[in-house]
Structure 1
């Protein structure tokens, strides 16, 4: 926010009302730097970071010493993928407002998203030391940023401790606690509720810990998304409850834990990540997949593709791309592409027109993740940008090439082609320029080699 506090994007007005008010302010005084920056905040929130950058730059023409505007500029530059410029803007904000809590937080976010984890952690330590000296406890948002940085570099021991700070964030949407928290110890016949949190992929990721919970000697109530119930029906649980069901309607339980807290409760390290859980694929889903895909063509590689995760996920624009990029894989002789995409991006297949014949759309046949798993069984390889299907394929042991953003989900670390969470997954990483071009070029070259290895072509 602009540090002068005169124009705030959290004023209680709708964005349209605030835009109208800002237009009036700027018409009366076009040299109002705070108003320009607040307009930039609105534009950033609407998903137009380049326009936001221009507004913040205009604001700095008239208020060059305003730390808040420099910090807002750094945020917008980071959103636009101009990471080095974003870091430079945040450095200037820190110079001008070294004790401003919002400036400190924004700078840590930019440093983490730029992959500069050591600098981010050092800045967080500095901010926390100042808070402690002032007699204040560490803010949840700083601990959350420290959790993400620590987990990204593989410091699971400390990272999972900080990971619990997510419960204090305004954006946290997990089930509110309604019983004593489980400490990870023996259950001794008690009943535990394992509550769902975050997305489908997170639930698949954490399912590997459910048998370990049961082994603690208690009854397990498992909160599960309907779309996952069939594929996770083999989990050793005593009852399944619907996500979001009001606490009074749930069966009685003694302790509870979020599924996302299980790695920390079990003291997970990079060397002790449990293998993926065995999934259940009903026969009717297998029959559907066999009918849809038909008999195999000799010498042909069946390659599934996914180019977007859930569009409502805040970070999806960074991890996703377009179907058009995947068409280069159809250039490889002996490769047939099958779309596993669900949701609004499915429309991109139909939008290809006649070229759409190069991609077989399976999305209309996928009613839940059990259906998707059955299709995956019939494919030789999946190439995709990160989403829940990556966790599904990795859990099944299907070879999956995951094309990931510069700073991806923390389980993928920050370097290398592999993750201990999914042994059959290969990672293709963006560079600091956030350019997908080299990622797809590397994957296409690898696909040519894979076809030669499998078919001799």
Structure 2
């Protein structure tokens, strides 16, 4: 039964039995899956009116509140579910997720320990523990748990193999490095490829077509298309397992990979951007990552917020946005006037890198371009959600993964307004510093 049919069936059931608490909660679950969080929350609360002792409804309500960014209410709902059923594995897991997304990492780890009191932890619990540990900088234990991702139902990469590489000497053997996750993760992990080559073997390297030119200087023995059957190899490893295999700590993060920017891309960028206007700052902007990424709704925002930067005297904005959110430029009426759209000129990440070289600063919400700019050594201001990608930690305005990146963080209320206010003030100061305005 598809979503529409299931919704219709539940609506008919509730019309006949409006005091069916479980049916109200199931409708709320369907609405949550459809992204209709306000309706989902209301349905769960209606279910609780008639079934206040139903722990499942409390837990479902908590899940919807987490997605709506209402952390305090979410944690209270999950606490009530656990008061009613203290040992229910699903409720313990849901509570751990809510605690992590609220930034309460010590409590997250305690909840996971409670859920794994029998001495075993499911892949789902280990994955949550990995995210919490990595966020607080416990890389030693975090990367061990990080491998649990390959046991998740949602994992779509290569399954675990008996030929897994342990990070030791290759002694002439052939290593297949396969990709997973997104473009940004591939750029992040590429810094380890030179270290892999030092292990003395042949390297077969999965690389997205969009990244082939910009990562063409890695010196691997063969570049493969992700998803295609690889030629014969001896051992294999995911690129995202490399930080753990090399024993990375906060003090030993390797420098970003050296990128290749072809002359043809540089010529295109120079022609597109033209001569520099004296006394101005060229600022690139990106307001959304891939819309298919599950957490993009939390990390992304709208073009409208970025137009505040155009109000700063001396600032000229250039959009590096790609994908469906790029349409916001046309809808805004500012394309070509307040914002120069570069997206149509970007055929791959090498083209984007060439454009970045011509810019003075990039201000953006987190996506693959942040990794690209950071790898180029460009100043990049990354406006990040309350609990961001783990490489950004949970406090401070710097990350060891990208020395030229400055972080502007949301607070617990997950409100973008103060983040942009701080960034505008910082931009005014940057213009004064660099142009004397």
How high is the TM-score relative to the length of structure 2? 0.99
Structure 2: distance between partners of 1:149 and 1:399: 28
In structure 1, runs of 5+ residues without a counterpart are 1-12
Structure 1: distance between partners of 2:305 and 2:74: 27
Structure 1: distance between partners of 2:416 and 2:60: 26
Provide the alpha-carbon RMSD of the alignment: 0.9
Deviation, 1:453, is: 0.3
Aligned match for 2:345, one of 365, 368, 375: 365
The 5-angstrom pairing of residues 319-330 of structure 1 reads 319-330=299-310
Structure 2: distance between partners of 1:55 and 1:45: 13
Q: Deviations over 1:129-168 (max 9, x none)?
A: 1x33xxxx31110000000000000000000000000011
Q: Which residue of 2 aligns with 1:193?
A: 176
The answer to whether the aligner puts 1:40 opposite 2:20 as a matched pair is no
The 5-angstrom pairing of residues 296-335 of structure 1 reads 296-335=276-315
* Contact 1:179 1:256 (C-alpha < 8 Å) held by counterparts: no
Structure 1: distance between partners of 2:278 and 2:6: 62
The answer to whether the aligner puts 1:227 opposite 2:210 as a matched pair is yes
* Contact 1:349 1:356 (C-alpha < 8 Å) held by counterparts: no
SS at match of 1:89: helix
The answer to whether the aligner puts 1:28 opposite 2:8 as a matched pair is no
Q: Which residue of 2 aligns with 1:386?
A: 366
Q: Which residue of 2 aligns with 1:434?
A: 414
* Contact 2:163 2:234 (C-alpha < 8 Å) held by counterparts: yes
Deviation, 1:176, is: 2.9
* Contact 1:37 1:56 (C-alpha < 8 Å) held by counterparts: yes
Aligned match for 2:80, one of 89, 92, 96: 92
Q: Deviations over 1:282-326 (max 9, x none)?
A: 000000000000011111100000000000000000000000000
Q: Deviations over 1:183-212 (max 9, x none)?
A: 010000000000000000000000000110
* Contact 1:307 1:341 (C-alpha < 8 Å) held by counterparts: yes
* Contact 2:28 2:43 (C-alpha < 8 Å) held by counterparts: yes
* Contact 1:179 1:254 (C-alpha < 8 Å) held by counterparts: no
Q: Deviations over 1:318-344 (max 9, x none)?
A: 000000000110001000000000000
4+ aligned runs moved over 6 Å, structure 1: none
* Contact 2:409 2:419 (C-alpha < 8 Å) held by counterparts: yes
Structure 2: distance between partners of 1:98 and 1:145: 19
Deviation, 1:48, is: 1.1
SS at match of 2:194: helix
Structure 1: distance between partners of 2:361 and 2:402: 14
Q: Deviations over 1:390-449 (max 9, x none)?
A: 000000000000000000000000000000000000000000111000000000000000
The 5-angstrom pairing of residues 73-222 of structure 1 reads 73-129=61-117, 131-132=118-119, 137-177=120-160, 180-222=163-205
Q: Which residue of 2 aligns with 1:293?
A: 273
In structure 2, runs of 5+ residues without a counterpart are none
How high is the TM-score relative to the length of structure 1? 0.95
Structure 2: distance between partners of 1:204 and 1:94: 41
Aligned match for 2:57, one of 63, 69, 78: 69
Distance 1:153 1:354, change over 3 A: closer
